[in-house]
């Protein structure tokens, strides 16, 4: 459950109105299919059972047999990606287009039919001018539909079967007729910030700034769930951000990110609603950026600086907030454990997902900017963990391919763009020589001379990245002039490769 | 008797100068790849390329490019236009127009494009230790280097001519991948000079000296991801071409032998390079028939002290070009028009370099 602080909705006058215009189904061009991971920057996870879906920086991927090496997917630059959800035999992704305040689109892929489709939803022109009004947030599958929270637009529902997109708002007690929008009588507190499952029921838990709601998709009825805004610590309640319940069981337990006014500032914290006291108590002293419910009472959290931790909420009724959660594993230790699994470098955590397999165990997945961690048979109740597998994208190359990575280098000294590694794959083991030439084909530098290389290493390449690189210098160690440079790789096996690299200063 | 002696002494002196420079250069020289302006080192024009790029002493076309001093010796108007495709996707195009300004002058204009428009199989990404991260195609990119020269020559005496040209250069180089696009860095150089002198020893022999790239500075506007680029200035090194051309005959047909010794000795501030470079190009131009001329030569022969200091490395990097070419007169189509073609090896055996152009004399 991600804090919904990307675009705040508060503040804007009651307003607004809006409404939607059309639920027009678009016949957009289908996304290009791929059989490999589209990027190592994995933004969001979704799935259940054996099916896993990923939203990455450059598309979507899925596998129908969780943990297998087979990846399927679709390529798309996800600059305007909002969220991904899986359910009902397919996966849907939500996008905004041009700006978050003009149009949202649902892309849907049906596993059974192997078909893609896309539908768009245009907001009223006046509404587009008020940027806090329409802010799509999250995507959820429930009762045969995909749902997103969309500011004063309320809940937006996408029907994958009919492509219909409709809006529901708390104050309208049902579906908003298309011709009623925009509605300027909408009270501010019914602008919607987040939607999530409500326990095991098919009811949706909807967060608005001043109260929590339930919404029954079958009857389209709204109900007020929590209006108490008493903070046990005596701090002044400001507004709800996003609420969620445990993954299974404990239907009475409810959590929410809440803005609390302190003396001079407003701080957001993770709170739990106590039925006995009818008040909100702070769950953790530090506010986690992400919370992922696991088995009953257990949660995975991510704090600032990518500190991961698992916690057990004992539901102790003590007033001491520290007692509410028993720390199972120190955050830094968990992080170190994953760091070791990723060979020393642990990137940013973008999302987490726990897919239950039994009452006490499941598969735990951590989506990061540098790959996907998969921990099988994870038992949050246990102190021990099985080995994490790190899935990263590596392009398969043929024995005819040869290029520099990155193709454009400069004297950045950032460890990324300040050297070009020569990527190649020999047909047979041999001693290789790599030379770099300028445009005139004058020799700039002999980078490697007579070094032994295997035909294929663990990722299907012959490259030895610690040696097979050029840093933009000549044989004397001086940086050479900006330009296009050419390299030649020869092996004693009789193979020759040519490629290009740009030195951009 | 006295005239003959003078002629012999001149030849002897010229040979002595050449030999001396050759000897001095070989003591220290080595191959200096990666210096600014490397695209300028390639010969432009199919006629020049066919004779090993040895075209500085007595060029027929593109005089403002090769030797502006010879502009004053023009007796007609000359133009050329052509293109070339070199190995690994390097491409070029050129055009020139040279004309006489009576009684003692000539002027010329030349334009040369060089670049690589086939930068389309390149990737962004990096290695994180042994692991590949974020590897993705960079899409199509293009590098270009444009040069324009305007030159003039003046006939000082019956034997001596002087000339100069001024150049404008512009480069565009892909630099920063950003959101599916590529930001280019650009460089501009305005006011690089060439000065030249040509001395006609007799009817058969001409010696020339051309000092190129005086004051040539590339001012790079370097792109950056945050939009705040920087300006970097780099200097194109001077080159001194000592050239000779000798007109003789073979099997009763005219034969011209050309030789260029191009020295990269000083940088733009006249500071001596640690390892000066001398490159030899030479070739012959033989009139096989009245309408067909054959050419052959070699170029980019590095004269380097590595030959005896580190002979293994010298021979390992030994990479002169072998050149062939021909010209066919198209007088039936248009008086004074000719088609020229040149074929050269590329020094690294990645392919061959080809050039063709159409020349006009009117």
Mutate to test the interface with B, among A397, A484, A486 (most CBs of B within 10 A): A484
pLDDT digits (tens, 9 = 90+) for B105-135: 999 999 999 999 999 888 888 887 777 777 7
Kindly list the residues from chain A whose CB atom is less than 8 angstroms away from the CB atom of residue B348: 435, 437, 441, 486, 488, 498
User: What span, in angstroms and rounded, lies between the C-alpha atoms of A151 and A9?
Assistant: 6
Encode pLDDT of B155-197 as tens digits.
999 899 999 999 999 999 998 877 667 888 899 988 899 999 9
8 Å CB contact between B210 and B56: yes
Helices (H), chain B: 2-28, 46-50, 63-66, 306-309, 311-316
> CB contact, 8 Å: B301 with chain A?
no
Residue with tokens 């260029």: B260
Decide if pLDDT at A69 tops 50.
Answer: yes
Using the CB atoms, write b or e for A131-163: b if 16+ within 10 Å.
Answer: ebbbbbbbbbbbeebbbbbbbbbbbbbbbbeeb
A128-153 pLDDT per residue, tens:
555 555 677 889 999 899 999 887 77
Query: pLDDT tens digit string along A378-427?
Result: 777 666 777 788 888 777 788 788 999 899 998 766 777 889 999 999 99
Using a 10 angstrom Cβ sphere, with 0-12 exposed, 13-18 middle and 19 or more buried, the burial of residue B287 is middle
The whole-angstrom separation of Cα A168 and Cα A178 is 10
Q: Find, in chain A, the residue whose alpha carbon is nearest to that of B185.
A: A504
With an 8 Å Cβ cutoff, are B348 and A439 in contact?
no
Closest CA to A217 of A255, A168, A252: A168
Tell me whether residues B220 and A445 touch, CB distance under 8 A. Answer: no
Query: With contact defined as beta carbons under 8 Å apart, do A375 and A386 qualify?
Result: yes
pLDDT band at A12 (very low <50, low <70, confident <90, very high): very low
Residues from chain B that touch A389, judged by Cβ atoms under 8 A, are none
Residue B34 has its nearest CB partner, among A345, A421, A474, at A474
pLDDT in tens, A348-357: 899 999 988 8
Report pLDDT for B283: 95
Q: Are strands A32-34 and A136-142 parallel, antiparallel or unpaired?
A: unpaired
The secondary structure of A60-94, three-state, reads: EEEECCCCCCCCEEEECCCCCEEEEEEECCEEEEE
Residue B12 has pLDDT above 70, yes or no: no
Q: Per the CB < 8 Å rule, is B119 touching A476?
A: no
* B125 contacts chain A (CB < 8 A): yes
Kindly report, residue by residue over A83-95, the tens digit of the pLDDT.
999 998 899 999 8
- In the structure, what pLDDT confidence band is assigned to residue A6 with cuts at 50, 70 and 90? very low
Interface test with A, best of B28, B33, B173 (most A CBs within 10 A): B33
A494 near B CB under 8 A: no
What pTM was computed for the model?
0.70
Q: How confident is the model at residue B19 (pLDDT cuts 50, 70, 90)?
A: low
Q: Which residue of B has its CA nearest to A488?
A: B348
The pLDDT of residue A379 is 78
Find out whether B133 and B126 touch, Cβ atoms under 8 Å: yes
Average pLDDT, chain A: 79
B267 touches chain A (CB under 8 A): no
Poorest-pLDDT segment among B60-64, B130-134, B254-258 = B130-134
Contact call for A504 and B173, based on CB within 8 A: yes
The answer to whether A363 contacts chain B (CB < 8 Å) is: no
Q: How do residues B87-99 score in pLDDT, each as one tens digit?
A: 999 999 999 999 9
Taking the CA atoms of B355, B356, B361 and B362 in sequence, report the sign of the dihedral they define: negative
The Cα B58–Cα A108 span in angstroms is: 71
- What does the pLDDT look like over A22-53, one tens digit per residue? 333 344 678 888 888 888 889 999 998 889 99
Burial of B193 (0-12, 13-18, 19+ CB in 10 A): middle
SS3 state of residue B191: strand
Rounded Cα distance between B198 and B207, Å, is: 6
């Amino acid at each position: 459950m991600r804090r919904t602080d990307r675009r705040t909705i508060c503040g804007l006058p009651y307003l607004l109105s809006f409404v939607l215009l059309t639920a027009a189904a678009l016949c957009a061009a289908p996304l290009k299919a791929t059989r490999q991971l589209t990027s190592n920057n994995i933004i969001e996870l979704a799935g259940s059972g054996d099916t896993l879906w990923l939203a990455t920086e450059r598309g979507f991927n899925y596998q129908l047999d969780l943990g297998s090496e087979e990846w399927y997917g679709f390529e798309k630059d996800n600059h305007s990606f909002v969220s991904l959800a899986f359910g009902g035999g397919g996966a849907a992704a939500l996008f905004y287009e041009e700006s978050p305040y003009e149009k949202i689109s649902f892309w849907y892929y049906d596993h059974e039919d192997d078909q893609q489709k896309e539908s768009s939803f245009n907001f009223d022109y006046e509404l587009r001018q008020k940027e806090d009004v329409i802010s799509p947030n999250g995507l959820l599958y429930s009762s045969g539909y995909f749902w997103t929270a969309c500011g004063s637009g309320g809940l937006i529902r996408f029907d994958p079967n009919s492509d219909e997109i409709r809006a529901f708002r708390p104050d309208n007690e049902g579906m908003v007729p298309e011709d009623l929008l925009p509605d300027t009588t909408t009270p501010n507190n019914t602008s919607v910030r987040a939607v999530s499952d409500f326990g095991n029921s098919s009811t949706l838990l909807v967060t608005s700034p001043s109260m929590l709601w339930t919404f029954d998709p079958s009857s389209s009825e709204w109900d007020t769930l929590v209006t108490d805004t008493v903070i046990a610590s005596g701090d002044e309640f400001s507004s709800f951000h996003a609420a969620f319940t445990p993954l299974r069981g404990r239907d009475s337990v409810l959590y929410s990110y809440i803005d609390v006014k302190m003396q001079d500032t407003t701080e957001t914290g993770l709170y739990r609603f106590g039925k006995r006291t009818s008040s909100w108590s702070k769950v953790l002293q530090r506010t986690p950026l992400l919370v992922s419910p696991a088995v009953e009472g257990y949660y995975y959290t991510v704090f600032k600086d990518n500190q991961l931790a698992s916690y057990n909420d004992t539901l102790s009724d003590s007033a001491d907030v520290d007692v509410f959660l028993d720390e199972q594993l120190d955050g830094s230790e968990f992080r170190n454990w994953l760091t070791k699994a990723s060979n020393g470098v642990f990137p940013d955590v973008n999302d987490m997902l726990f897919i239950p397999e039994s009452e006490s165990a499941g598969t735990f997945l951590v989506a990061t900017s540098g790959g996907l961690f998969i921990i099988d048979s994870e038992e949050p109740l246990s102190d021990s963990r099985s080995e994490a597998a790190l899935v990263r994208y590596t392009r398969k190359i043929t024995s005819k391919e040869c290029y520099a990575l990155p193709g454009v280098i400069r004297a950045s000294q950032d460890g990324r763009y300040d050297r070009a590694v020569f990527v190649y794959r020999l047909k047979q083991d041999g001693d290789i020589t790599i030379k770099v030439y300028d445009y005139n084909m004058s020799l700039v530098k002999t980078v490697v001379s007579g070094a032994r290389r295997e035909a294929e290493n663990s990722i299907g390449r012959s490259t030895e990245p610690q040696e097979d690189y050029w840093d933009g210098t000549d044989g004397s160690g001086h940086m050479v002039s900006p330009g296009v440079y050419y390299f030649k790789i020869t092996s004693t096996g009789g193979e020759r490769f040519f490629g290009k690299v740009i030195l951009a200063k | 008797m006295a005239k003959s002696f003078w002629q012999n002494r001149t030849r002897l002196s010229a040979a002595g100068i050449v030999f001396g420079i050759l000897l001095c250069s070989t003591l220290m020289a080595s191959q200096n790849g990666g210096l600014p302006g490397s695209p300028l080192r390639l010969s432009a024009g199919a006629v020049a390329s066919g004779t090993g790029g040895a075209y500085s002493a007595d060029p027929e076309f593109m005089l403002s490019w090769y030797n502006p001093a010879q502009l004053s010796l023009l007796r007609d108007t000359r133009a050329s236009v052509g293109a070339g495709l070199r190995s690994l996707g390097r491409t070029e195009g050129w055009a020139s127009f040279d004309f006489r300004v009576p009684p003692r002058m000539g002027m010329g204009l030349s334009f040369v494009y060089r670049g690589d428009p086939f930068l389309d199989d390149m990737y962004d990404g990096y290695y994180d230790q042994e692991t590949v991260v974020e590897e993705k195609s960079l899409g199509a990119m293009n590098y270009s280097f444009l040069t324009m020269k305007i030159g003039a020559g003046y006939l000082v005496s019956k034997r001596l001519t002087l000339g100069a040209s001024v150049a404008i250069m512009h480069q565009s180089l892909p630099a920063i991948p950003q959101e599916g696009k590529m930001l280019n860095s650009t460089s501009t150089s305005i006011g690089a000079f060439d000065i030249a002198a040509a001395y006609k020893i007799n009817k058969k022999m001409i010696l020339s000296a051309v000092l190129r790239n005086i004051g040539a500075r590339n001012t790079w506007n370097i792109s950056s991801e945050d939009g705040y680029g920087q300006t970097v200035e780099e200097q194109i090194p001077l080159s001194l071409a000592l050239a000779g051309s000798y007109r003789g005959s073979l099997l009763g047909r005219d034969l011209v032998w050309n030789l260029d010794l191009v020295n990269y000795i000083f940088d733009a501030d006249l500071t001596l390079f640690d390892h000066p470079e001398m490159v030899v190009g030479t070739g012959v131009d033989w009139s096989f028939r009245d309408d067909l001329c054959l050419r052959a030569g070699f170029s980019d022969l590095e004269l380097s002290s590595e030959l005896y200091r580190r002979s293994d490395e010298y021979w390992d990097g030994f990479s002169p070009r072998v050149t062939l070419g021909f010209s066919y007169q198209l007088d039936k189509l248009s008086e004074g028009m000719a088609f020229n073609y040149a074929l050269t090896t590329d020094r690294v055996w990645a392919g061959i370099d080809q050039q063709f152009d159409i020349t006009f004399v009117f």
